[in-house]
Amino acid sequence: MHPSSSTPSVHADDEVSPLKAVIVGRAGRACFPAAPPAMIAATMPEAHIHRFKPKSPFPDNIIEKAEAELDCFAAILKAEGIRVYRPPKGIDWLAENGYTGAMPRDGLISVGKTLIEAPFAWPCRSREIELAYGDILKELAAEDSHARIVRRPEETFANTLLDEDESDEKGPWVINNSRPAFDAADFMRFGTVILGQYSHVTNQAGVDYLQKHLPEGYRVEMLEVNDPNAMHIDATILPLRKGLLVYNPKKITEAALRAHEVLKNWDLRPYPFIPQEPTEPPLYMTSPWLSLNALVLDGLRIVVEASDDITVEWYEQLGMTCIRCPFKHVNSIGGSFHCATVDLVRE
């Protein structure tokens, strides 16, 4: 089914308006990404750091189950009347020395009618968008002449980013500012304001690059986040609907959020539980705060991990209807529902 010529292929201004079109990732032959050791040490769970070597695939049974969970998630979204785009099956990330196609949120951000490809900091991710999403990006451009697709420039592939400065002046991040770098998952949309964080994968040049490619009238504002391991904002804040946002009180304060005019009058709720680390399957690449990495369908409904009873109960107390979907094996390879999607059109 193709949208009519009057239907946009890209048009999203926030995280909560009714979702009409979305990309859902596929794992493919997913591997532990072989980023430089200093980067892995700064961002990945200590217990699993030794696994992040070149040519180190995730266990087959985890990939198989993650793929089935992603298919189930896509089917749920389709049944809700949402148009779902998927990358090709079976991409061999082992042969590509890459990671996976399961986490498109890291590499793409839609702002208004513009879809921007992130200049990834990690060299092992440099072909991820081209290989998994290149055809979808062409399809989106062909479907809607108003869609503006901003591909990342070739020269950013060079790995000039590791900060080997030994002086006391060294900043908090593993990367320097020698070329633009950001992961799109370090940003969230709140109308014409995009809130973001600096991290081990997002530098000032990356923020400037993003700002330069935003549609006119949109601007980036940076949050003050307390997270020495920062990489992605989407387990730190979660807007549930306009005016209501959940946050991780271990990483950000209410005052830091309220300092931004766009959130000044919002109801800001700290997530009230300490998430437990699952034993099986292991969380190889994330903290256990993935309950905040949910996908809001329309400010009333939200997709949540099927077994996460405590979060379901709390989100329902906050007025949401939760749609449960099994996702533990996707969690294991690096993220949850927000990570595994790119919302293309929100009404």
Cα gap 21→12, rounded to integer Å = 10
Among residues 13, 144, 183, 308, the one annotated as catalytic is: 183
Annotation marks residue 339 as catalytic = yes
Give the per-residue contact string, 55-94, with ligand ABU (x = CB under 6 A; - = no): ----------------------------------------
Point out which span in 112-120, 140-148, 172-180, 286-294 binds ligand ABU (CB under 6 A): 286-294
Q: Which is nearer to ligand ABU, 17 or 248 (CB)?
A: 248
Number of neighbouring beta carbons within 10 Å of residue 345: 24
User: Between residues 45 and 134, which has the closer beta carbon with respect to ligand ABU?
Assistant: 45
Q: Which residues contact 167 (CB under 8 A, 6 or more apart)?
A: none
Q: In a 10 Å sphere around its CB, with 0-12 CB exposed, 13-18 middle and 19+ buried, how is residue 139 labelled?
A: middle
Q: Is 48 a catalytic residue?
A: no
Phi-psi label, residue 344: left if phi above 0, alpha if psi -120 to 50, beta otherwise = alpha
- 8 A C-beta contact, residue 220 and residue 196: yes
Q: Is 235 in the site for ligand ABU (CB under 6 A)?
A: yes
Contact 110, 12 (CB under 8 A): yes
User: Which listed residue (100, 110, 202, 286) binds ligand ABU by CB under 6 A?
Assistant: 286
DSSP string for 161-199: -B----STT--SSSB-SSS----GGGEEEETTEEEE---
Closest CA to 163 of 107, 217, 201: 201
Interface with ligand ABU, residue 121, by CB under 6 A: no
Active-site annotation holds for 146: no
DSSP 320: P
Catalytic residue among 11, 232, 329, 338: 232
Interface segment toward ligand ABU; rule CB under 6 A; list 132-140, 164-172, 231-239, 294-302: 231-239
Cβ contact 122:181 at 8 Å? no
Using the rule CB under 6 A, is 126 a contact of ligand ABU?
Answer: no
The size of the interface with ligand ABU (CB under 6 A), counted in residues, is: 10
* Residue 328 sits in the site that holds ligand ABU (CB under 6 A): no
For ligand ABU, give the closer residue by CB, 83 or 251.
251
Give catalytic residue positions: 183, 232, 339
Residue numbers of the site for ligand ABU (CB under 6 A)? 185, 232, 234-235, 286-287, 289, 293, 335, 339
